[in-house]
Structure 1
Amino acid sequence: MSDTATTAQTRPAPSQDSPGGRRSFVAFVSEVASEDVLRSGLVDLVANPQVRQGGIRAAIRAFEKEESPRTLLVDVSASNDPIAELDALAGVCAPDTKVLVVGERTDIDFYREITRHLGADEYVAKPLTRDKVATLLGPYLAGDAPDVAGTRGGRVVCVCGVRGGVGGTTVAVNLAQHVADTTRSHVAVLDLHLRGGHVAMMSGVKPASALRHALENPQVVDGLFLERVSVSSAERVRVFAADEPFDADPRPTPDGVAKVIELLRQRFNVIIVDMPIPPSLADRQALAVARQTLLVFTPDMASLRDVERAKKMASTLTGAGRTLLVLNRSNMPGALKSTIINEALSAKPDVVIPDMPKQISRAGNLGRAALNDSAALRRALAPLTQEVSGIRQRKGGGIFARFFSK
């Protein structure tokens, strides 16, 4: 793994409109869900994003009268003839306008036609997620080509409870199970709490030995070694955890964490990392390669204080648009009102999970995912699963659906 992949990245400044009045970015989308995702995903990438209702036809009409932006996103979902309309769009846009297209189609021939023959810079199949905005669209807004090589391999998702007791591990364990169940992905859960971690216990398994050794001595780690330090907790889910005594002094190295995650990315579709906060220098290697960081907090003043600090740290290491705020136990006794939370965050939480003390406690005691017994938890995790996996909940599909979800 290169040095740049294991260090904090310098983030580009948000794209600005030109002094002469040319806009940096305009989007035309045909549904409210995509509009909401774009607005939240672009907040750190574009200074003044314009997201308008309407698909490609609205864009054609608009740029017959006004100057096209430097980067344009158009939705072709409602188009009966997207090829012809994209050709018409090219006739009203400036030659240097970068055109990004979103739509419902997932066949490879369509992708090749619009990117190779019509000159579109990128095509993204729905559902549109914040991760796709940051990974596929973000580089164009920064004036660079996407780093395709950097996106290969399994997706790393770091789950961080902003303070003890907010339910970070609960979210990690249940999210892993939900991703595996609904997308049929192979999922790894890596618990970096080497002392007192709860992932294995909540998953109903006994931690295998030697994870600490792997993290401290990367030179001994290979695929076979990782197989020996993991244990299956469910179909398509494997747990990587340790159970070091409290008087132990584990010292994972940055190279050790980077090597373990690199090997996990080669073998699993999604790697969910249960992260300590604040992270050690070694733990930060997971954040440096994460596609998303989930900050789990509860509706109380202590959490609101810590979530702002955690968000600033995670955004620096993970990158703009990749941090999601997960409000857990939203209606617990004594909870702050949603208006106070939204005002403190200057935004609504990305995901809200209701308070389910009986179900969560019972599941923890039995060593099983709580979503097995809670439809409410499954519903709450559904949008989060779609965001971190990049694909809709599985209802069939095939190889091309997965191709376009990368």
Structure 2
Amino acid sequence: MNAPFQARAGLRDPFTAFVCDDATADMLRPVAVEHGWSPEKVNKGGLRNAVQSLSVSASPNILFVDLSESADPLNDINALAEVCEPGTIVIAAGTVNDVRLYRDLVVSGIHDYLLKPFTVDQLRDTFAHAQMTLSGPRGEAQADKPHVMAAVIGVRGGVGASTIATSLAWMFGEKARRSTALLDLDVHFGTGALALDLEPGRGLTDAIENPSRIDGLFIERAMVRANERLSVLSAEAPIHQPLVTDGTAFFQLQEEMRNTFESTVLDLPRHMLIQYPHLVHDAHVAAVVAELTLAGTRDTIRILAWLKSNAPQTKVIVVANAVPSGGALEISRKDFEQSIERNVDVVFPFDAKVAAQAAKLGKPMAEVASGKLAAPFNTLSGMVLNHASEEGSAPEAAGSAGGKSLVDNLKSMLAKPKGKAA
């Protein structure tokens, strides 16, 4: 129960209590008011009422629970743990004066155990210590890790942008030790949850249909946990249901994720970029995933020009994905870089075996890859975090290709002899 959780403390109710008698309730209420908590959060019913209530509502930051009517306190606390979300600080009170029980309760996750009858000063001291525990290390961690938002944009369908977005989110969680949200905005055909062997749930479609519901509690309940540090919001909306939204839901989701997680990765299809340009406005970094083909080159030029005009504050990283070995390229890397008028930052080699293995295991490629294939994932993750941490520096040039430059570059490549195209 005291384990760290991605959601930040301010998104929950600060305090709730469940007590067995009026005397305890009367002592708790004025102390709650001293801390700025509502006295109405002191409820009657003890542990049984606590379990029932928390099974249908979010846990508070600090939970006070009375075990006086419990015949088996330790077993009942375990029942509470099943409905109590990680990160909640639990303070118990009871009438059993047994040091072994105290130790067992602490091991099970209880922050402190008060023996009844206790004094107001004891109660104040316990709450003060609980608040220090809640705000101290957690607050320092947030200060050390300001939020990072990265958008991953594929210049064409099938270039592997979703694969890279999933792996980048996994890298943030596992390697950078950041609480991370993966927001897959391909509402009908998204693969964010599928790639991690998860059921997407209805969280994203519910958010689109009811933007007013989006808040911290909604995020906690709608996100699907992939592991301790990575949560996913994805969808498999029926293909007969068109996406009808003005984009408000996406803006609110980004805002809540910024408050809840230390990192957000947006898997951003290019058609969503066009329809809802504000999606990339708050992104520190945009990773543009391309293929070394004629069509891929054209679309890379267009998207880089769009980013330069519409999101000049966003750092741009150009990623060449699934590059085959042996020089079997439709367009060489040199020609590609000349056409987009900037260098490729990260190159991912093509490896069908690792891609198939990752798909079968339901794991991101970054987790399965090793050796040379793992290196680009480390490079990309490091570049995103480094770019995001740079403050006040000029944005990465997104390339000035467009108009006549686009036409001239493509004509130049088409005019080359076939043997020299690779």
Tell whether 2:152 aligns with 1:156.
Answer: no
The root-mean-square deviation of aligned C-alpha atoms, in Å, is 2.6
Looking at structure 2, the residues matched to 219 and 350 of structure 1 have their Cα atoms a distance apart, in angstroms, of 40
Q: CA deviation at 1:261?
A: 0.4
Q: Identify if the C-alpha distance between structure 1 residues 296 and 404 changes in structure 2 by more than 3 Å, giving closer, same or farther.
A: closer
Counterpart in 1 of 2:183?
190
Q: CA deviation at 1:282?
A: 5.8
Q: CA deviation at 1:331?
A: 2.4
Q: Kindly report which structure 2 residues correspond to 1:319-398, keeping only aligned pairs within 5 A, or say none.
A: 319-320=312-313, 322-331=315-324, 333-375=328-370, 376-390=372-386
SS of residue paired to 1:328: strand
Higher RCO, 1 vs 2 (CA within 8 Å, ≥6 residues apart) = 1
Q: Please tell me whether the aligned partners of residues 183 and 391 of structure 1 are also in contact (alpha carbons under 8 angstroms).
A: no
Counterpart in 2 of 1:249?
242
Q: Please tell me whether the aligned partners of residues 203 and 223 of structure 2 are also in contact (alpha carbons under 8 angstroms).
A: no
Counterpart selection for 1:204 from 189, 194, 197: 197
Question: Normalised by the size of structure 2, how large is the TM-score?
Answer: 0.54
Which one has the bigger helix percentage? 2
Structure number with larger C-alpha Rg: 2
Q: Identify if the C-alpha distance between structure 1 residues 300 and 280 changes in structure 2 by more than 3 Å, giving closer, same or farther.
A: closer
Q: CA deviation at 1:346?
A: 2.0
Counterpart selection for 2:162 from 155, 161, 169: 169
SS of residue paired to 1:166: coil
Counterpart in 1 of 2:17?
none
Counterpart selection for 2:294 from 280, 288, 301: 301
Looking at structure 2, the residues matched to 234 and 207 of structure 1 have their Cα atoms a distance apart, in angstroms, of 14
Looking at structure 2, the residues matched to 189 and 377 of structure 1 have their Cα atoms a distance apart, in angstroms, of 22
Q: Please tell me whether the aligned partners of residues 154 and 267 of structure 1 are also in contact (alpha carbons under 8 angstroms).
A: no
Looking at structure 2, the residues matched to 192 and 346 of structure 1 have their Cα atoms a distance apart, in angstroms, of 29
Question: Normalised by the size of structure 1, how large is the TM-score?
Answer: 0.56
Counterpart in 2 of 1:27?
none
Counterpart in 2 of 1:31?
none
Which segment is superposed worse, 161-170 or 216-225?
A: 216-225
Residues 190-214 of structure 1 show CA distances to partners (whole Å, capped at 9, x for unaligned) of 0010001111111111102131221
Which structure 1 residue ranges, 5 or more long, are not aligned?
1-151, 393-401
Residues 379-399 of structure 1 show CA distances to partners (whole Å, capped at 9, x for unaligned) of 11222111222399xxxxxxx
Looking at structure 2, the residues matched to 280 and 334 of structure 1 have their Cα atoms a distance apart, in angstroms, of 28
Looking at structure 1, the residues matched to 315 and 387 of structure 2 have their Cα atoms a distance apart, in angstroms, of 17
Letter in 2 for 1:312: A
Letter in 2 for 1:362: Q
Q: CA deviation at 1:377?
A: 3.2
Residues 347-400 of structure 1 show CA distances to partners (whole Å, capped at 9, x for unaligned) of 2201111111211122123211112221233211222111222399xxxxxxxx
Looking at structure 2, the residues matched to 391 and 324 of structure 1 have their Cα atoms a distance apart, in angstroms, of 9
Looking at structure 1, the residues matched to 349 and 255 of structure 2 have their Cα atoms a distance apart, in angstroms, of 34
Looking at structure 2, the residues matched to 335 and 177 of structure 1 have their Cα atoms a distance apart, in angstroms, of 31
Q: Identify if the C-alpha distance between structure 1 residues 165 and 281 changes in structure 2 by more than 3 Å, giving closer, same or farther.
A: closer
Which structure 2 residue ranges, 5 or more long, are not aligned?
1-144, 394-422
Q: Please tell me whether the aligned partners of residues 208 and 228 of structure 1 are also in contact (alpha carbons under 8 angstroms).
A: no
**Equivalent residues, number:** 246
Q: Please tell me whether the aligned partners of residues 255 and 282 of structure 1 are also in contact (alpha carbons under 8 angstroms).
A: no
Identity rate, percent: 25
Letter in 2 for 1:218: P
Looking at structure 2, the residues matched to 380 and 295 of structure 1 have their Cα atoms a distance apart, in angstroms, of 14
Residues 16-51 of structure 1 show CA distances to partners (whole Å, capped at 9, x for unaligned) of xxxxxxxxxxxxxxxxxxxxxxxxxxxxxxxxxxxx
Q: CA deviation at 1:313?
A: 1.4
SS of residue paired to 2:271: coil
SS of residue paired to 2:323: coil
